[in-house]
Amino acid sequence: MKVLLFHVNQDEIDYILECNQKFKFDLEMADFDFNFADSDRFTGFDAVWITTNCKVTKLKAEQLKKAGVRYIVSRAAGTDHMDLAAMRESSIKGANVPRYSPNAIAEHTLCLILMCLRKMKREFTMIMNYDFTLTGLKGRELRNMTVGVLGTGRIGTETIKLLSGFGCRILAYDLYENQSITNFATYSDLNEILSVSDILILHCPLTEENKRLINTDTITGMKDGAVLINTARGGLMDYDAVLNAIEIGKISAAAFDVYDAETSYIRKKADRDKFDSKTLKKLMENENVIYTAHMSFYTDTAIENMIKTTFENLEEYEKTGFCSNDITGNCETI
């Protein structure tokens, strides 16, 4: 099987090649942008290996079909970057990596919380300017707070378990309650969580129903001075509304690892002077905002699991025509 790989980082190549000693696929690292390439660039490949900033639209699925591509394997858990219906129409099978290291994202979430509470962005800036005073650095302690977690899947569960060690009160919201967390958190309704949480964490998948979940109206219902954390999906927040809330002090601090329109720049070295997202620039420049560039998952354990599972998905397809991590429902029809 000939596989075209996109957005492979330099420090991942050795492990990919090591893994492939077992699978023996014909691998090629792409040197062009998946989103803007025409079908000719994919000709001769059986499969493409993608990340979340590769957008599989209806047009792209048709291009891949024309090129003879049979499989799309995403090394991510989320699937909102893939038009699954279009893939089915083009008879392309697809798989994801449903779990690689929920703990990696949970630990990053906790890191962001503590950095916000202890005003670390301001402290780093002061130290860089040789200001060793305590001006504006009085923090808050997590153990004295109420934390609301929206989404109690694998990642939300890991975050709740980590938080439980700090002694804070934890409230949770999910359409489907997870009994494994009831020793650590109390389920409550969304409005209650918004109104009483000192820290609000987003760990839910992005759906049509919860798009822009954090907006002007929901922010109005939040506790004054709350801290907002998003390590889930950019589309869950209206960032203009968040920026306004930070500027007026309704939200005391925010940290996020995802942004709604990140595809155009993520995994690239952008030109500061030409960077056209005014809202994101203002957020990044605010001392009460911490932004990390979609890297909460990026640990040695997570990457090794991600790469290994992606190889296993390809092997399953090649050997049996089926895949246990299939997301298109094509396995029985092609």
Claim to verify: residue 244 and residue 133 sit in the same structural domain: yes
Catalytic residue (one of 123, 262, 287, 318): 262
Claim to verify: residue 35 and residue 157 sit in the same structural domain: no
* pLDDT higher than 80, residue 331: no
Per-residue pLDDT, averaged over 293-305, amounts to: 94
Catalytic residue (one of 75, 108, 203, 294): 294
* C-alpha–C-alpha distance, residues 56 and 223, integer Å: 39
Claim to verify: residue 282 and residue 304 sit in the same structural domain: no
DSSP class per residue in 168-216: -EEEEE-SS--GGGTTT-EE--HHHHHHH-SEEEE-PPP-TTTTT-BSH
Token pair listed for 269? 């070295």
Q: Is residue 130 part of a domain?
A: yes
Claim to verify: residue 71 and residue 161 sit in the same structural domain: no
Q: Is residue 329 part of a domain?
A: no
154 is annotated as an active-site residue: no
pLDDT of the residue at 53: 84
CA angle 167, 173, 177 (to 5 degrees): 100
Per-residue pLDDT, averaged over 310-319, amounts to: 97
- If one counts the domains in the chain, the total is 2
233 is annotated as an active-site residue: yes
Claim to verify: residue 276 and residue 194 sit in the same structural domain: yes
pLDDT of the residue at 78: 82
Which ranges in the chain belong to alpha helices (H)? 13-23, 58-67, 84-89, 102-117, 120-128, 154-164, 190-196, 216-220, 239-247, 278-285, 300-320
* pLDDT higher than 80, residue 250: yes
Q: Is residue 332 part of a domain?
A: no
Lowest-confidence pick of 35-49, 156-170, 259-273 = 259-273
Kindly report the pTM of this predicted structure. 0.86
Per-residue pLDDT, averaged over 252-276, amounts to: 88
Q: Is residue 30 part of a domain?
A: yes
Burial of 334 (0-12, 13-18, 19+ CB in 10 A): exposed
Phi, psi of 132 (to 5 degrees): -105, 20
Catalytic residue (one of 7, 70, 233, 312): 233
Separation of first and last alpha carbons in the chain:
18
CATH at residue 143:
3.40.50.720
Claim to verify: residue 114 and residue 236 sit in the same structural domain: yes
Each residue's pLDDT tens digit, 125-136: 999 999 999 999
Each residue's pLDDT tens digit, 66-111: 999 999 999 988 898 999 999 999 999 999 999 889 999 999 999 9
Q: Is residue 149 part of a domain?
A: yes
Q: Domain span at residue 84?
A: 2-100+300-320
Q: Is residue 330 part of a domain?
A: no
Claim to verify: residue 213 and residue 117 sit in the same structural domain: yes
Claim to verify: residue 148 and residue 274 sit in the same structural domain: yes
Per-residue pLDDT, averaged over 7-17, amounts to: 93
Per-residue pLDDT, averaged over 9-23, amounts to: 94
262 is annotated as an active-site residue: yes
Nearest to 116 by CA among 98, 142, 147: 142
How many CA within 13 A on the CB side of residue 168? 26
